[in-house]
Structure 1
Amino acid sequence: MSTTTASPARRAPDSFAMLLMVGLCAIWGLQQVAIKTTNVALPPVFQAGLRSAIASVLVWAWARSRGTPLFRDDGTLGAGLLAGVLFAAEFVCIFLGLTLTSASRIAVFLYTAPCFTALGLHWFVDGERMRRIQWLGIGVAFAGIALAFADGFLHPGAGSAATPGAGATHGSTLAGAAGDALGVLAGIAWAATTVVVRGTRLAHTSASKTLFYQLAVSAAVLLALALGLGQMRVETVTPLALASLAYQAVVVAFVSYLLWFWLLTRYIASRLSVFSFLTPLFGVTFGVLLLGESFSTRFLVAALLALSGIALVNAPAKRAAG
């Protein structure tokens, strides 16, 4: 992957892009609640694969209705397949990590992604260079996320998928470390996907085709993995579980991801990606409102830190005097 001066010029996010990113983060945050409610009907990996499969059909239908070619040879196949594998790898790491460590720890390590994204774009893509104040902003925002989920570090067993038995402390520690590592790998995979989209021929193709690559490839990978793990089954089906799956497939994987890749064709990706720090905060907020979960004053401080970091990253550069 190399820098390219031929890429269309991207601009800093304006008020429209910022508001749209906040809305997308709210959608992605609510997805956490949707996943929990769908788990009663579908195992998680099967759920993720089915979501991608449904959304890929929707993207195909959308592209066909608009006359957007998805299968024309435009030199994007290699990059598209790589983006799809990275997209699938992110979810595999998340779901496997959740079986080894707490959800709060996974959330913190996953949201190292904007840091890795900024670093990768800074190295590989022209027009994505970061100033010192912007690196500071990313650090402040990540500190907010770490503070919001600090309980996962103070009490590592909280929220984990399995509770170890007596005498399993050493094994639990090793499993937790492996889960943390998977969380970081998920963040790296997410960041690498964005860098691939911005630093290859995908930067010149339509948002529909970029998304179709990722959904189609991830659907194949995740469904195959679900089959191998014995998760290709349906449990108790409820109207809420079906509605939650529909929300994930239609609203999240189809509409919101399409908008996200559309934004990447017009705005500086590193400045957009920092908004994703809001996603876990929205997830906690919706958990409080819809699932009766609780939050503390520390969470409000954490939210302010995240917002301050986002503001620093998107602050306009000072013009030289004279």
Structure 2
Amino acid sequence: MNAPLHRESPPRMTFTAVLLTLSICLLWGGNPVAVQFAAKNLPPLLIASIRFLLATGFMYFWCRLGGHRISITRQQLPYVVGGGILLFVQIGLFHLGIARTSSSHATLLINTYVFWVMVLESYLLRAALLSRWKISGLILAAIGVVIIILSSLGQKEQLDQPTLRGDVLLAFSGLMLALKILLTKAAMPKIASSPFIFWHDLIGMSLLVIASLTFETWPGMEAFDMVSCVSLAYQGLCVAGFCFGMQAYLLQKYSATSISVFSFTSPIFGVMLGVAIRGDEFSVWFGLAALLVAGGIYLVNRPD
């Protein structure tokens, strides 16, 4: 009689890994706020192009400092091309959407990718198991996100006014981000994280430049004031460079689900920064939603 098969569980995240993941979430939470500052003077696809031009340069030096070979094999090519195309679609939708909504809406809707990662990794790829506790935590956190969105209905006129069109674009961007994360996870046994991110940044950036040249009118150099330049540096070096590189490194060690559940903190960071810096409308419902999200994170990560 054959012995029963046991699915090997991914390693539990260390305290250092959790802190690093939360730091990434904090930086990501501030990204929509940074984009809004640059969007005052620059068109959305041009912002995305410059952002990933900086990210590509960051990853090139990251690879050089880490001693990673940038060259790739023919077998690795489909992964980096697929990652670059998904990056182009996801980032393009993100920047087009955020130009039509508030940073608070953006940081909430982009993080719906967590739901897609869990569903696809658990039920389609069969790469992770969701216990009743984890499913309960996911539902609890989802309720928190819904409350935040509903509490924003009927907002007064504000600096960054939300629109349905912008929100829909951001929701689709969240789906594309989930697919890109799972592709990155699949690519990690085939290619090291640093050269993968470098090539996927380079391909995505090239496609964004082509799209921007085709559909947008580029402004003059006077549009690149100090605020816009700082915003672009934050987006390109901190978020698109450091965050994507660190996330790929973590995906080499832990499951996509284990990492993604912490991104529920990113909407909290993003809403706080949006309210404090961009003047987004705040409601007491945000406090209740934050508690629900925090409770969901605890249930998802508690031992089964």
Aligned residue in 2 for 1:12 = 12
Distance in 1 separating the partners of 2:90 and 2:39? 19
Residue 99 of structure 1 contacts residue 160 of structure 1 at CA under 8 Å; is this kept in 2?
no
Aligned residue in 2 for 1:51 = 51
What count of residue pairs does the alignment treat as equivalent? 296
- Equivalent runs, 1:46-125 vs 2, <5 Å: 46-73=46-73, 75-98=75-98, 106-125=106-125
| Equivalent of 1:240 in 221, 227, 231 | 227
Helix, strand or coil: the match of 2:116? helix
Distance change in 2, residues 1:231/1:309 (3 Å): farther
Residue 89 of structure 1 contacts residue 186 of structure 1 at CA under 8 Å; is this kept in 2?
yes
Aligned residue in 2 for 1:170 = none
Tell me, yes or no, if structure 1 residue 212 matches structure 2 residue 227: no
Residue 188 of structure 2 contacts residue 251 of structure 2 at CA under 8 Å; is this kept in 1?
no
Aligned residue in 2 for 1:320 = none
| Equivalent of 2:262 in 246, 267, 275 | 275
Identity %: 26
Q: CA shift at 1:127, angstroms? A: 4.4
Distance change in 2, residues 1:32/1:284 (3 Å): same
Amino acid of the residue matched to residue 92 of structure 2? V
Helix, strand or coil: the match of 1:149? helix
- Equivalent runs, 1:159-198 vs 2, <5 Å: 159-160=160-161, 176=164, 179-198=166-185
- Tell me the alpha carbon deviations over residues 209-229 of structure 1, each in whole angstroms, 9 at most, x when there is no partner: 221132112101111111112
Runs of 5+ unmatched residues, structure 1: 1-7, 163-175, 318-322
Aligned residue in 2 for 1:228 = 214
Amino acid of the residue matched to residue 272 of structure 2? T
Q: CA shift at 1:233, angstroms? A: 2.8
Amino acid of the residue matched to residue 20 of structure 1? L
- Tell me the alpha carbon deviations over residues 277-317 of structure 1, each in whole angstroms, 9 at most, x when there is no partner: 22122112112333444522211111111111111111112
- Tell me the alpha carbon deviations over residues 262-288 of structure 1, each in whole angstroms, 9 at most, x when there is no partner: 111111210211211221221121123
User: Which moves more between the two structures, 87-96 or 120-129?
Assistant: 120-129
Distance change in 2, residues 1:269/1:202 (3 Å): same
Distance in 1 separating the partners of 2:157 and 2:80? 38
Residue 75 of structure 1 contacts residue 201 of structure 1 at CA under 8 Å; is this kept in 2?
no
Helix, strand or coil: the match of 2:218? coil
Q: CA RMSD in A?
A: 2.7
Residue 188 of structure 2 contacts residue 252 of structure 2 at CA under 8 Å; is this kept in 1?
no
Tell me, yes or no, if structure 1 residue 132 matches structure 2 residue 118: no
Q: CA shift at 1:103, angstroms? A: 5.7
Q: CA shift at 1:179, angstroms? A: 4.5
Residue 104 of structure 2 contacts residue 270 of structure 2 at CA under 8 Å; is this kept in 1?
no
Distance in 1 separating the partners of 2:140 and 2:162? 30
Q: CA shift at 1:59, angstroms? A: 0.8
Distance in 2 separating the partners of 1:156 and 1:113? 28
Aligned residue in 2 for 1:26 = 26
| Equivalent of 1:297 in 257, 260, 284 | 284
Helix, strand or coil: the match of 2:223? coil
Q: CA shift at 1:46, angstroms? A: 0.4
